[in-house]
Structure formats: C-alpha cells, structure tokens
A and B are shown apart, each in its own frame.
Chain A
Amino acid sequence: MKEVVILSGKGGTGKTSIVGSFAALAQSKVLADCDVDAADLHLLLSPSIKQENEFWSGQVAFIDEEKCTQCGLCQDICRFDAIDDFKVDPISCEGCGFCSHICPVEAITMKESLSGHWFISDTKYGHLVHARLGIAQENSGKLVALVRQHAKEIAERDGLDYIISDGPPGIGCPVISSLSGANLALLVTEPTLSGIHDLERVLDVCHHFGIPALVCVNKYDLNEDNTRQIEDYCLNLGVEVAARVPFDNVVTEALVQGLPVVEYSQGEVTQEIESLWQTLTEALNG
C-alpha cells in the first residue's frame, strides 16, 4: 500500500481537480481529503456519508464567576491574551491550561471542545475519508492525522494499493501532518511568480521531511517563460516535472457539473492527467 499526497504551497493551483481525476483513474485506492478547513473534494465525488464522527480536541478555559475573586493572576500569566475582564475569549484561548493550574481559588476549569466532524463516505470511485473542522477551530493537524489514519485502516482492511490524499495549501501544521510518512508528494504549481515562490517553499518542506516529490505545472501555457523557469529550477534540484497540463475552461465546466474532468472531456487536459497518474504509479512502485 502506497500513499501519495497532493500539495501546492499556493492555494488554487488545481490540487482538488487533479485528485478528483485520480479518483476516477486509479483502480484500487481510498481517497482522503486532508484540507480539513476548506474541504472541496466532496464536490467532485458526490459522496454518500456512511459514518459521521465527532472530533473532540483541545480544551478551552472556563472561569466560574461565583468562585473568581478577580485577583487577576490568570490575566497576568496568559501568554495568548485570552483573558480579559475575568472572562475567557474562547477564540484566543489555546487550551494550555496554565490558568487552571495557578488559580488560587480553583475557579478555572478546562472544558473539551467539539472541534469538528469527520466522515467515511462511499463514492462511485471508492471510499472517501473527509472532515470538516469547526469554524475558527484549532488542531487542524490532529484532524488531518485522524483522516489519514482512517484512510490507512480502510486501505489495509480492503487490501487496497493506494491512498490518495488531497492536501491543504501552505507549509504549516496541517501540511506537515498530511505529509509526514507519505511515500510521495505531488506538487501542483502554476506558472506565476507567486506559484513559483510557493513551490520552492513546499519543495523545501518535502526535502526537510525526506519525502520524494514530483511536480505538475498546471495551466502551463498561461506563461510559458515561467513554466520554463520552473522546469529549470526542478532540473537543477533533480526533481521531475511529471506533467504540464494546459489551461482549459473544461476543468471549470466539469466542476460546475460536479464531475472529475477526466469523466467530462477527452481533450488534452484529460490525456495529460492520465499520463500523470501513470507516472505516479510508476514512481510509487519503482
């Protein structure tokens, strides 16, 4: 069983459209949507939810007004400025519990908070594990880890060949949680200076954690000079550019229909994504 995670650094480069197409192309796989705070893969796969679970994580301090003597110690020691006027701002509270330990009259308790939900769904392409982080919640990294763990369990149980994970943008906590221990990262970029800048950073993250990476230049024909710059950059680092996908509005048309683009069009975009999936399977099994 091999796991590939699709990342990009910059958002909106086309990760989810490509993962949706892999869902239709790959035979023996489970899908994981690791972009838990703005999950979109379900919009392409029309899942029917089979199992819904609560994600309890992290804690928030609560001050009992009756016991509180307003001594102010908690406000002084809180490094997240989460206590003001002897009330806790649950959004700023990082759940460290320092205040609850030092309150001289034990007026502060820590309460578990419901931080989101995660789901196991059936789709016509196979199982999908996905999640929804609660609005303004923390611990997205933990929820990502949970999604991956359940995808892995399904893959082991059903003897599946691949776990295909749609990752979040950025390079921080949820990205690290999506990446650690994966067999391969596919980095989807676009030929813009921002895309290149962000690709360099996410590639550095892959190297930092020792995860091999391949690059896909999406909408490569929007600026072919920049595409060449990406290819030169990758060549120097010994990173393979595995696909150049042209810009075509069929990708958005397919999305409006709620379909992976490879099921909607037989054009150049589809051919390129098919060959990309082929390259990925070779890299995963090589």
Chain B
Amino acid sequence: MIISVASGKGGTGKTLVATSLALSLKERDNVQLLDCDVEEPNDHVFMKPTITRSEAVSIPVPSVDEEKCTHCGKCGEVCAYNAIAVTKQKVLIFPELCHGCGACSYLCPEKAISEAANEIGVIEIGYADGVDFGHGKLDIGQAMAPPIIRQVKEHASHEGTVIIDISPGTSCPVVEAIKGSDFCLLVTEPTPFGLNDLVLAVETVRQLDIPCGIVLNRAGVGDEKTEEYCREGNLPILLTIPLDTEIASFYSRGIPLVEGLPQWKSSFLELFDKIKEIVNERSSDTER
C-alpha cells in the first residue's frame, strides 16, 4: 500500500507525520519512507539514514553536430519549451528549459541531434532504524522537480507499506508525487491559511481519484472553520495533534515525535488502521 502525505500549505507537519508513521509501523510491517519533496527534503534530518546507493538524475538534452546541421530550423519549430533557437549560423540550446521529450532529435531531418545527459539532481537510497529510506534532491538553480520525483518513485517497494512525503502546493511536483498512491493523508492546521490551502489540496486529490483523510495538527491554535469544513465535506479527521511546546521542541531538534514521546506510537498505529480500513472498503466497493 502506498500512502502519500501532502498538505497544500507548507509547514503544517507533513514531515512530522510521515516520519512518525513510518517509525511506528516498522514493528508491524515492512516500511519504506520516500521523501519526494525534492526541493526541500527534510525526512533525512529526522531519520539520519545510512545511504547505501546514490544515482544522478539527468534529463536528455539535445546536442547538435554542427557539421551535419543545415540550420533548417525544424528542431526550434517542434520544441514546445523554447529550449532551442536556430539562427543562420548556430543552434542555441537552453538546457534549463528542456523537458527531455526527445522530439528534436527524432525529427531532425539530418540526424544531426544526439542527446546528452544534463544532471539536475540526485537520488539517495538507504535505510534508517528499521525503515527503508529514499529521497531525491534537486540541484541548486535547477527548476524541474518532476523528473527527480519520478525516479525516486521507481524505487518504491512492491511489498509492505510505502510512505511518500510530498512537497507543499498543488502544482505539477505535487501531482507527480501523489499519483499512484492508494491513499493521501492531508496534514493541515486550523487557521485560515491552513483551511484555504487544504481546500485546494482536497480538490487535487479528488481530481486524481485518490481517497483522502485529514491530520489536524496544532489543534487549538486558530478557529473552528477547518473542522467545520471537514465535517461538511465528509472528510474524516483521522488524527489530531495539539499545539504543544514539547512537540514543537522535539521537532525543532530533528527528533521524530514518536521517539521523543513514544506514547504517540499507538495513535499513529490507529491512524494506519483507519487508513487501511478506508482503502480496503474502497477496493471491495470497486470489485463489486
């Protein structure tokens, strides 16, 4: 089963939930934690994994053989991302705009374009305290997170439980990371910002047709409207974590909640049981 942990708004507690869920569950099941927030991955700060393997992520970008090139302009014409500009003397390539679709090299009538790897980030795979671990890191100055997310997800285990930590927001990196999950946990806080972004996140997972449930973090901080929204929209609140200075203190020091306060383990196991129930119900519904 793949469970993704997303939020819309940043800083609501995705990393806290993903790491504590993984660490609680490891006693019961094979668990893999994949951090797909490749712009700002944080799970490793808490899990302190031993990295056993790392691999570069690259996009195939065009490289032009000037001897064969007739400057016909076809490559510039077919590139949807303005990554190629053809002048009378030269073909200019902007690798940071290239999505690596391969159209230019395939369609070049002179077969003058080959592809060269342009590195945009790295994947690191390892283990931490009984949990299989993986994450991706986008290189500084690079724009495109989705290819790295795709490559992290290629390492997803086919057995046990895979927990995916997602970046904030609702755009392409979030969709790329959530896609294919059996369930999406949405972590929010009871403030107007938390609610506004939760609504967007719920729309996103519904569009992807993935069942979701809510973790309400920092309960007690703002107002009642987030809970009202969940009630009215039939969104189950599966776990509530109060606003608490002790919890915040462990978090600030990079200590997972269930390590600092082990009594929380049972709450995370209950959370997992509720998720499993929803996923099982849904799959028996679709079978019928």
State the A residues within 8 Å of B (CB).
8-13, 16, 35-38, 40, 43, 59, 77, 79-80, 91-92, 94-98, 101-102, 133, 135-138, 140-141, 168-176, 190-194, 197-198, 201-202, 204-205, 208-209, 222-223, 226, 249, 252, 255-256, 258
Contact = CB atoms under 8 A, between A and B. Distances in A.
11 contacts: A11-B10, A38-B10, A77-B102, A80-B101, A138-B172, A192-B253, A194-B251, A202-B40, A208-B140, A223-B252, A226-B252
Interface residues of B, number: 59
Given A101-B78, A140-B171, A197-B42, A192 B252 contact: yes
Contacts, number: 188
A229 to B, nearest CB: 11
Given A223-B253, A226-B252, A40 B193 contact: yes
Interface of B: 7-12, 15, 37, 39-40, 42, 45, 78, 80-81, 99-103, 106-107, 138, 140-145, 167-175, 179, 191-193, 196-197, 200, 203-204, 207-208, 221-223, 245, 248-249, 251-254
A77 B106 contact: yes
B101 A94 contact: yes
Nearest to B44: A197
**Centre residue among A98, A136, A140, A175 by max chain B CB count within 10 A:** A136
A98 B103 contact: yes
Contacts of B37: 170
A102 B15 contact: no
Nearest to B148: A172
Given A79-B101, A101-B103, A169-B168, A38 B200 contact: yes
A185 B145 CA distance: 22
Contact of B140 (A8, A38, A138, A205): A205
Contacts of B138: 171-172
Contacts of A141: 143
Contacts of B251: 192, 194
A138 B138 CA distance: 18
B175 A98 contact: no
Given A209-B141, A256-B222, A171 B172 contact: no
Contacts of A175: 39
Given A10-B11, A193-B254, A37 B171 contact: yes
Nearest to B173: A172
The 6 A-B pairs of least Cβ separation, nearest first, read: A11-B10, A12-B11, A96-B101, A170-B39, A193-B254, A98-B103
Contacts of B173: 170, 172
Contact of B144 (A98, A172, A205): A172
A255 B200 contact: no
**Centre residue among B39, B99, B168 by max chain A CB count within 10 A:** B39
A170 B172 contact: no
Given A136-B208, A173-B144, A192-B251, A38 B9 contact: yes
Given A11-B10, A96-B81, A38 B197 contact: yes
A194 B42 contact: yes
B221 A252 contact: yes
A28 B222 CA distance: 32
